[in-house]
Structure 1
Amino acid sequence: MIQTISDALAEKGYTTLTSVQEAVSDIKLLEKDLLVSAQTGSGKTVGFGLAMSSNLLGDSEQFESAKAPLALVIVPTRELALQVKRELAWLFAKAGATLASCVGGMDMRDERRALERGAHIVVATPGRLRDHIHRGSINISELKVVILDEADEMLDLGFREDLEFILGESPKERRTLMFSATVPKAIANLAKSYQNDGYRISIKGETEQHSDIDYRALSVSGRDTENAIINVLRYYEAPNALVFCNTRAMVNRLTTRFSNRGFSVVALSGELTQSERTNALQAMRDGRARVCVATDVAARGIDLPNLGLVIHADLPTNFEIMLHRSGRTGRAGRKGTSVLIVPGKSSQKAERLLKMAKIEATWDKPPSADAVREKDHERLLSDPNWSIPVKESEQKFLTKLKSVYTAEQISLAYIRLYESRQSSPEELDDTPNVTRDSSRSKFGPTIWFSLALGRDKGADPRSLLPMICNGGGITKDDIGAIRIQSNETFFELKKKCVERFVLSVGPSKKLEDRVQLRQLEKVPDFDQSPNSTRPHSKPRSSPRRTERKENYSKPNMNKRNNRGPSDNGASKRLNPIDRVPREGAVTPLKGERKSKPRDFSGKSERRESFAKPRQSNAHKSNNENLSNSERPKRFEKNTKMSSEGTKVFSPKDKKYSAKSQSNKADSSTLKEARSKAKPRLESSVKPKSARPVKSRSNANDTSKRFSPKGKSVKLKNKKPNERN
């Protein structure tokens, strides 16, 4: 080891190196790329400082004048960057190293000036470092070592693209070191891409529980979460405590609550400025603040010397985050406690996290108010002031105090003064202890009962549970499984509660004086599937879709297809090609046809027009003589609009005789004639019996219309074939 580095370690009090520091300092690995995984608090920062010292100094003990950076340390967060810079500063202080930092939130002009003056080692976050590279503020062409600290966290935060860019711009003849508490698959793939024959170092502890951290899981009710955190803080009374939350809103909420309760608290989250975050951590180090409420921004690499308690107010999203959170305590041989606050509905998630992290936690209840007071009394009795002798300056007042008050009064006053300086504990609900062994298999022996109430009468657990509890004088914890069948319901009851349950129900054996109850001797046979046949199901009140189609489609078909009485007096269904559109033969002369609201007069005209017998059925016989290819098409397809909005007929219409088409316009023309005579009686509905006139002589002539009696009615003087 280089002498200047050894002197710096001795001055800091290092007598022996940790396992990770010894491993990376091995002479055989001085030129190799390393992928190091070790548990939190194992001294990785000093470890990679020792690992790169020989590459930077060589055989010399002092650095030359600072020019372009020789080493680059990349970390995920600003706080960690500043902390790493402080650690490396004292480690290389005697060697004359110059360090610079490039982190977001700081003045970029100051960083640029520091880089221009020269630096041996640069500690940076990925985003800000990439900005400096783009702007040409930093020269990385002479780098000898690149270190990625907490590499897995940088990938989780979305810095993969920045890391790949930085490593791609760095010299190929460099040494790349990656350090992390965990090595997921993404980190292994990144190491394969940017390391040359990387050597993997896995320190014991990555797969084992941290021996210096006591893990505890406290089961609480949902509404007592914040009160439980307050009691935990009061119970342990750690010099520094870190409370982790998942959201900024929760950070602000707890910070306000703790401040109101008298705790000296600071907040740490991404919404704060860099100066506010730095001041918060400095307040924790100076002792001006005792509690820090933070998001996961403080879960990586932050080292607070007196941090003895970590509280997970919100359960982490994965076990790796839980390990990194808990790793803020129990560092460098110091003991610490990690407490998980577990609401009842999140107990399975907490068990899963602990199992994946291979951690054995102690499950318990949160400390009660009485437990906190007893702990205060223990701390009071163990206070070192009891063993300090009386000073001369204190003797005079002590004599006066004993002369005025008795020993009991003095003791009571002292206890009250001591308690007044502490935040009073919270009263918690008596929540049952939730352990990993709490399952239905531990429910105990049971007896099955039957109720004469099933699905056919609307039985559901929400209504059955209070009925059973109220009728039998038991709680829901005494009831096991509930199985609702088609015409009855089965439920199991703890055997020790059966006698009390039967006495409470009474000799009638009826719940709520209406549901018959029966005790069974063995486990009943349940339905094979929840969709089994229901013998007492109610008949359908409405017909099926196919039935409705038959019931309602036939009358509509008769009404639409029967065009009045046939020759023999029976209804006759016509061919679809004989159907006539409602519009009749033509549309109004001016503009497009607009639908108008019907009035009573229009309805009466429509009824009258259908009531009148038809004059002739000659058009039917004429159409029957035509072949399929010669039959007329739908009216809409055979017509087109003229330039002035009037429909005219195509040349195909010349095939039809005027006699066969004259009756098609009877009802329509009659209505239009009436509307001309009486403008106020306008009807938008054209009778179905109307037929268009499509003879050779007047196919394109719109100047005449015909009444049902065959008389022409001249509506407007217009030339027959006039077009724009």
Structure 2
Amino acid sequence: MAFPSASPALDRALVARNYDEPTPVQAAVLEAVAHERDLLVSAQTGSGKTVAYGLAIASTLLGGAEMLPEATAPLALVVAPTRELALQVERELAWLWEGAGARIVSCVGGMDPRAERRKLAAGAHIVVGTPGRLRDHLERHGLDASQLRAVVLDEADEMLDLGFREDLEFILDATPVERRTLLFSATLPKAIVTLASRYQRDALRIAVAGGERGHADIEHRAIRVSAKEVESAVVNLLRFHESPATLVFANTREAVRHLQATLQERGFAVVALSGELGQHERNQALQALRDGRARVCVATDVAARGIDLPNLDLVIHAELPHDREVFQHRSGRTGRAGRKGVSCLLVPHPRRRRAERLLMDAGLKPEWSGPPTVEEIRDLDRLRFLADPIVTEPVDEEDHELARLLVAERSPEEIAGALARIWRMRLPPAEEVTDPGSDEGRRERRREFDPIAADRPSHGGHGGGGTGVWFRADVGRRQNADPKWVLPMLCRRGGIDRGDIGSIRIFDQETRFEVSAGAAATFWANARKPDDENIQIIPADGAPEGAPAPRRGPRGPRPEGAGESRGPRPAGGESRGPRPGGEKPARPPRRRDRG
């Protein structure tokens, strides 16, 4: 289905942007029955509604002409809940209406109001703004609403949720009664219906068929994670998908700061968005994402409202959202306007039931899996390397000259290895993670709740029973050694699985650990090689003091008389005999004075 003609200038803009056919909401507002009527539209975020109302008001503003008249008082007003959404709407309407000569001015909180008043005084056809700033301009007579022909409320439910009811009513009361009012909302709760009945006339109610279409292009995945490995799972998801832009959601500002620092430390180009940032800092962060200087944004729910980023293919819920609406709003940042996207919900085992209820409320049946493994990421890296432009694109004469010098000095295998190493150096390393749904993951969960089990091997072949081989690494507590990174490091250095490592003992200057007898030779052959981490690993002389004692074998039949009484207990608390090693030392007298 082709776009119905709204105006020659707008039609040309759609063709230039390769808009071949309308989305359901765009087709609905352009039908003949909707012409010049007030509209109450239920449409999800990302369904193309900005272009929809940009086209819908064309006949109202142009009146059959191809170009707009000279800009004086505004003809249309668009109200959006957040600065980011308002600025995004301004950009969308700018390209759509450019051919018609439209002058568009934005008025949002955090920007210089004096500069906005100067732009308004110079004339505008369309004004886009947030409720508080628009009301301020109206009260100060900087915004002339007397000539408005159309008012659009975008994401009206969000504006009511954010407490803008009074501002909206003030704005609508200040506009001409004969205006068109187009109200767009993801949901239509009673408060929205009440607002519409007060300020709209004979409104056409449009519920886009398949109202979830805004999320139809999103692949939902539920990722089982260990509660201790959430950050590692985020790292592996970022590495697995390699999205040009990713939003990672956390529930608090502190969690955002911590996760941003963690990802920066791992080597990701990451920015953060939270309520504590000023407008200039927010704009810088968003611009870094748009121009590719950053590829990951960690954000809170409120800070991410209204964000529309190009090439945002991945959303990661590092923490469970509070409810279905928040979950859908987060996920709706991707899969917009026909683009495909992936939404990954990280589910620690203790939160699984809550996650299942959340998904059920949202009407979703996602694919459940563990986080991507190191092996899966390495396999993808190999394919990406072979498809990288550094390998596939033709080289110029200068590159050929360098290549001839290399070939004269090094073998082809050495040159290829150096190229692969340079390519891999720019990639953040993947993390060793477990899938709590696997057998190994279930063993890990038992370790989390059983401190004794933490020192047991994950199978009966090694561990404190004396069948393992002990090694030592020259890194300890003073070097911030921690099991979270020591265990993956040992697996990587030794080329073995975590199931082959038993007890780990971290001391001030060294770490001692046990490797199963069957894997010890392989481990030592790999671990003795030099490594970039500059951690030396050598065999130890034996189990360190305090290592777990061998576990007893199964009990045999009890000897005869084993269950008989040991005789009467001595009366009066008498001693049962001397303690091994002599008498118990006398306890020092208790101090009673507190002075």
**Normalising to structure 2: TM-score of the pair?**
0.71
Which residue identity is paired with 1:87? E
Provide the C-alpha distance between the structure 2 equivalents of 1:379 and 1:206, rounded to a whole number of angstroms: 37
Of the candidates 141, 160, 163, which is equivalent to residue 136 of structure 1? 141
SS of the equivalent of 1:146 reads strand
Question: Which AA in structure 2 matches 1:114?
Answer: K
Residues 393-417 of structure 1, C-alpha deviations (whole Å, 9 max, x = no match): 3333323323322233223222222
For residues 267 and 140 of structure 1, what CA distance do their matches in structure 2 show? 37
Counterpart residue number, 1:29: 34
Q: Distance in 1 between matches of 2:309 and 2:132?
A: 26
| DSSP 3-state at the match of 1:39 | coil
The yes-or-no answer on 1:251 pairing with 2:256 is yes
CA drift of 1:124 comes to: 1.0
Alignment of 1:257-276 (within 5 A): 257-276=262-281
Q: Is the CA contact 1:38–1:204 (under 8 Å) kept in the aligned structure 2? A: no
Q: CA, structure 1 residues 466+50, in 2 after alignment: closer, same or farther (shift >3 Å)?
A: closer
What is the CA deviation profile of residues 522-542 of structure 1, one whole-angstrom value per residue up to 9, with x for unaligned ones?
A: xxxxxxxxxxxxxxxxxxxxx
1:486-497 to 2 correspondence within 5 Å?
Answer: none
Letter in 2 for 1:59: G
1:117 corresponding residue in structure 2: 122
Change (3 A) 1:250 1:120: same
How many Å apart are 1:186 and its aligned residue? 2.8
CA distance in 2, matches of 1:64, 1:395: 59
Partner deviation per Cα, 1:341-389 (whole Å, 9 max, x = no partner) = 1122221222122112212211111112232222212211233444444
Distance, in Å, in 1 between the alignment partners of 2:453 and 2:14 is 72
CA contact (8 A) 1:142 1:171 kept: yes
Q: Which of the residues 78, 100, 106 maps onto 1:73?
A: 78
Q: How does 1:337-376 map to 2 (within 5 A)?
A: 337-376=342-381
2:419 is matched with 414
Let me know the Cα RMSD of the aligned residues. Answer: 3.0
Distance 2:65 2:454 in 1: 83
Q: Which moved more, 1:265-274 or 1:378-387?
A: 378-387
Q: In 1, are the aligned partners of 2:46 and 2:214 still within 8 Å (CA)?
A: no
**What secondary structure, in the 3-state scheme, does the structure 2 residue paired with 1:316 have?**
coil
Matches within 5 A, 1:238-387: 238-387=243-392
- Matching residue of 2:203: 198
1:396 aligns with 401
- Kept after mapping to 1: 8 A contact 2:148/2:175: yes
Query: Cα gap change, 1:93/1:369 in structure 2, threshold over 3 Å: closer, same or farther?
Result: same
Query: Amino acid of the residue matched to residue 327 of structure 1?
Result: G
Relative distance call for 1:277 and 1:467 in structure 2 (3 A) is closer
2:42 corresponds to 1:50? no
Structure 2 distance, partners of 1:173, 1:390, is 65
Q: Please name the residue that 2:589 is paired with.
A: none
Distance 1:335 1:369 in 2: 25
Answer with 1 or 2: which has the greater Rg: 1
Kept after mapping to 2: 8 A contact 1:72/1:143: yes
1:535-556 superposed Cα distances (whole Å, 9 cap, x missing partner): xxxxxxxxxxxxxxxxxxxxxx
- In the other structure, the counterpart of 1:713 is none
> Which amino acid in 2 is paired with 1:227?
S
Does structure 1 residue 176 correspond to structure 2 residue 172? no
Contact 1:364 1:433 in 2 (8 A): no
| Matching residue's letter, 1:303 | D
Instruction: For 1:464-503, list aligned pairs within 5 A.
Output: none
The SS at the match of 1:334 is: coil
Map of 2:99 onto structure 1: 94
Q: 1:209 and 1:19 mapped to 2: Cα distance?
A: 10
**Alpha-carbon distance in 2 for matches of 1:382, 1:507:** 67
Alignment partner, residue 90 of structure 2: 85
Aligned counterparts of 2:454 and 2:306: Cα–Cα separation in 1 = 53
In the alignment, which of 223, 226, 236 is matched to residue 221 of structure 1?
226
Following the alignment from structure 2 to structure 1, what is the Cα–Cα distance between the partners of residues 139 and 438? 57
- Decide which moves more: 138-147 or 73-82: 138-147
Contact residue 182 and residue 206 of structure 1 kept, 8 A: no
Distance in 2 of aligned mates of 1:305 and 1:373: 27
The alpha-carbon distance between structure 1 residues 410 and 10, as it changes in their structure 2 partners (threshold 3 A), is same
The CA deviation at 1:89 is: 1.3
Paired residue for 2:568? Answer: none
CA distance 1:264–1:474, shift in 2 (3 Å): closer
Rounded Cα–Cα distance in structure 1 between residues aligned with 2:92 and 2:331: 21
1:20 paired residue number: 25
Indicate how the Cα distance of structure 1 residues 175 and 376 shifts in structure 2: closer, same or farther if over 3 A, else same: same
1:207 CA displacement: 4.2
Q: 1:21 to 1:433 in 2, by over 3 A?
A: farther
Counterpart residue identity of residue 299, structure 2: A
Q: 1:508 to 1:183 in 2, by over 3 A?
A: farther
Structure 2 contact 47–213 (Cα < 8 Å) conserved: no
C-alpha distance in structure 2 between counterparts of 1:431 and 1:143, whole Å:
59
* Structure 2 SS opposite 1:363: strand
Paired AA for residue 25 in structure 2: V
Aligned 8 A contact 1:299 1:321 in 2 = no
The answer (yes or no) to whether the contact 1:209–1:359 under 8 Å persists in 2 is no
- Deviation per residue, 1:158-193 (Å, 9 max, x gap): 112221222223222221111133333332332223
**Within 2, Cα distance between the matches of 1:80 and 1:161?**
20
Distance 2:385 2:414 in 1: 17
Inter-CA distance 467–238: structure 2 relative to 1 (3 Å threshold): closer
Corresponding residue number in structure 2 for 1:703? none
User: Partners in 2 of 1:231 and 1:190 — Cα distance?
Assistant: 46
1:372–1:195 Cα change, 3 Å: same
Closer/same/farther in 2, CA of residues 29 and 508 from structure 1, 3 Å limit: farther
Retained in 2: the 8 A contact 1:208–1:358?
A: no
Tell me whether 221-230 or 393-402 shows the greater mean CA deviation.
393-402
Kept after mapping to 1: 8 A contact 2:36/2:59: no
SS state at 1:88 partner? helix
Q: Could you tell me which of 4, 20, 32 is aligned with 2:9? A: 4
1:46-90 CA deviation, whole Å, 9 max, x = no partner? Answer: 100011111111121222222222211110110111110111111
Distance 1:58 1:98 in 2: 17
Whole-angstrom CA distance in 2 between matches of 1:25 and 1:468 = 66
- CA–CA distance in 2 between the matches of 1:179 and 1:295? 24
Aligned counterparts of 2:249 and 2:357: Cα–Cα separation in 1: 19
- What TM-score does the superposition give when structure 1 sets the normalisation length? 0.59
- In 2, Cα distance between equivalents of 1:261 and 1:156: 37
Q: State the partner residue of 2:151.
A: 146
Note the C-alpha offset of 1:154: 1.0
Contact 1:39 1:205 in 2 (8 A): no
CA distance in 1, matches of 2:134, 2:75: 15
Q: Percent identity?
A: 54
Q: CA 1:469–1:374 in structure 2 vs 1: closer, same or farther (change >3 Å)?
A: closer
Write the deviation string for residues 200-219 of structure 1: whole angstroms up to 9, x where unpaired: 21223324683321111111
Moved more, 218-227 or 36-45: 36-45
Distance in 2 (alpha carbons) for counterparts of 1:179 and 1:171: 20
CA–CA distance in structure 2, aligned partners of residues 153 and 8 of structure 1: 29
Count of aligned residue pairs for this structure pair: 455
User: For 1:429-471, what per-residue CA distance to the aligned partner results, in whole angstroms no more than 9, with x for missing partners?
Assistant: 452269xxx9xxxxxxxxxxxxxxxxxxxxxxxxxx999999x
Cα distance in 1 for partners of 2:372, 2:436 equals 11
| Greater relative contact order (Cα < 8 A, sep 6+) | 2
SS at match of 1:342: strand
Counterpart amino acid of residue 356 in structure 1: D
Q: Secondary structure at the match of 2:347?
A: strand
Alignment correspondent of 2:522? none
Distance in 1 between residues matched to 2:340 and 2:89, nearest whole Å: 22
